[in-house]
Structure 1
Amino acid sequence: MTEALNRHYQLCEEIGRGRFGVVSRCISPETGSHYAVKSIDKRLTTGDLLDSQSLIAEPKVLHLLSQHPHVINLHNHYEDDFHLHLVLDLCSPEDLYSRIVSRRFIPEPESAILMSQLVQAIAHCHSLGVAHRDIKPENVLFEVCNGRLKIADFGSAETFKDGELMSGVVGSPYYVAPEVLSGADYCEKVDVWSAGVVLYVMLAGFPPFYGDSAVEIFDSVRRANLRFPTMFFQSVSPSAKDLIRRMLCKDVSRRLSAEQVLRHPWIISAGGGSG
């Protein structure tokens, strides 16, 4: 462990584990505040250039985005020859995915509030020239101290300038936008597509595009044949379905921007506020 980290924080129990390291709870003896520290073993990424680049990029992106109420906040970071430690907001073990699984679906008013907070974070990222590129329920966390929604895991994030397109196939099967899979360059609206899938999943309990394998899922996403099965959507309002259609629009030029999503009547009328 980096000596500087140990000088400033008292490490506690492990609360998570990933491909490249562990997440632990830690306490600042100076303030008594609790945080999460994501400790990454850089030696595990040496064989993969993309993984190495994302490790370098993530703290820079988080510094750029910090202090937004719905983006995971980077409080400190420390690095030595073998490890990178990111001191982050402490979030609950229950992410949005766990919440949906345990409850089967999220009622419309609550979904509107969560979607408003999620898209506020996405709009903030886009305004600063950052595309997250891996929006999914597993990357939507809730802060321990107040339950506030936070988007996390910026390992796939990319920076862009106005009008500048991005490239590279990144994202997660159910949530990735069709233009990413086509191999063409794409814009930041890929995040709006992914958020639209998240909204569908919150209301229905299952994704709009699916299959028995990654290949089948990708084929379904490319076709983008959006349906609202009556059994699951009979009590969902026309306004909610309208917003989903506008977010899951295959024609990127007609797909809503994050700012436009926030102005949609369903978000405004269903009580989606600043949180």
Structure 2
Amino acid sequence: MTEVLKKSYDVCEEIGRGRFGVVFRCVSLISGESFAVKSIDKRRISAGDSLDSQCLYNEPKILNLVSPHPNILRLHNLYEDDFHLHMVLDLCPPSKDLYNLIVNDGPFPEARARLIVTQLVNALVHIHGLGVVHRDIKPENVLFDSRNSVNLTDFGSADVVAKEPLRGVVGTPYYVAPEILAGREYGEKVDVWSCGVVLYIMLAGFPPFDGETAVEIFEAVLRGNLRFPVRAFQWVSPGVKDLLRKMLCKDVSRRLSAEQVLRHPWITGGG
């Protein structure tokens, strides 16, 4: 651990692990408050891999741009030495992410799904207003704090839409928007598509576009044939189905923006 980090925080037990680093609980030596510290081992990033290197420094840069917001995990401090980058972040209870909740509790009642997706879309409205596209919205990146509020995290794949739209295949198979896979230019609405997939999974317990392999999943996403199987959607309201059709719309010009999602009757009128 960086000596500067140790001067400010007592680093405690490991609470998570990723491709490039480890997440620990840490305690401020000044306030006694608990945080999470995400420690990334720069040596595990392949020399010459510009994408991984970009992701390493993208996250703190983007988090500084979009913070503070009640539904976005906040970056409090950043430390770096020759071998590691340490990000001190808000602490959320271990394993309390949307993925684990779906596995343990799902499918969700509409009221619970509405509460979660509303907070998630509020975060999207905020970052899209700043020109930021997350590009990896998925249940694993939706954390819950001690008050059960949504905290969007993992901005390593995020980018800023400046004068030109974005290009490049980024994201996770089940959640990636079709225009990304088709190699077209894209913007903020890729996050709305991914959020629509998350909402569908919360209600159904399975993804709308599935396959045995990544290639099969991509083919299903590109077809965009949205179905509502009776076994999962028999008791789901017409209102949320309408919202899903408008979020998971292949035609980007007809797909809702994040702001329009918040104005949809299923969100505003409680179903």
User: Structure 2: which 5+ residue stretches go unaligned?
Assistant: none
Specify the SS of the correspondent of 2:151: strand
- Counterpart of 1:74 in structure 2 is 75
| Structure 2 counterparts to residues 115-154 of structure 1, below 5 A | 115-143=117-145, 145-154=146-155
Q: Deviations over 1:30-84 (max 9, x none)?
A: 1111100000001111332101111111101000111100001000010111100
Alignment partner of 1:104 is 2:92 = no
- Counterpart of 1:172 in structure 2 is 172
Q: Deviations over 1:193-221 (max 9, x none)?
A: 00000000000000000000000000000
Give the TM-score normalised by structure 1: 0.96
- Counterpart of 1:59 in structure 2 is 60
Q: Deviations over 1:55-114 (max 9, x none)?
A: 111101000111100001000010111100000010122210110111131110010010
Counterpart-to-counterpart distance in 2, 1:84 and 1:270 = 43
Compute the RMSD of aligned alpha carbons. 1.0
- Counterpart of 1:260 in structure 2 is 260
- Counterpart of 2:188 in structure 1 is 188
Give the TM-score normalised by structure 2: 0.97
What letter corresponds to residue 10 of structure 1 in structure 2?
D
1:3, distance to aligned residue in structure 2 (A):
1.2
1:226, distance to aligned residue in structure 2 (A):
0.2
Aligned residues: 269
- Counterpart of 1:155 in structure 2 is 156
1:164, distance to aligned residue in structure 2 (A):
3.0
**Range that drifts further, 149-158 or 262-271:** 262-271
- Counterpart of 2:32 in structure 1 is 32
**Range that drifts further, 231-240 or 39-48:** 39-48
List, as ranges, runs of 4+ consecutive aligned residues in structure 1 with deviation greater than 4 Å.
none
Q: Does the Cα contact within 8 Å between 1:10 and 1:27 map onto a contact in 2? A: yes
What letter corresponds to residue 36 of structure 1 in structure 2?
A
- Counterpart of 1:4 in structure 2 is 4
Counterpart-to-counterpart distance in 1, 2:257 and 2:168 = 21
**Range that drifts further, 128-137 or 90-99:** 90-99
Specify the SS of the correspondent of 1:60: helix
Counterpart-to-counterpart distance in 2, 1:193 and 1:264 = 15
Specify the SS of the correspondent of 1:70: coil
1:191, distance to aligned residue in structure 2 (A):
0.1
Q: Deviations over 1:142-200 (max 9, x none)?
A: 11x32211010011001112x63101100000000000000111111000000000000
Specify the SS of the correspondent of 2:261: helix
Specify the SS of the correspondent of 1:111: helix
Specify the SS of the correspondent of 1:186: coil
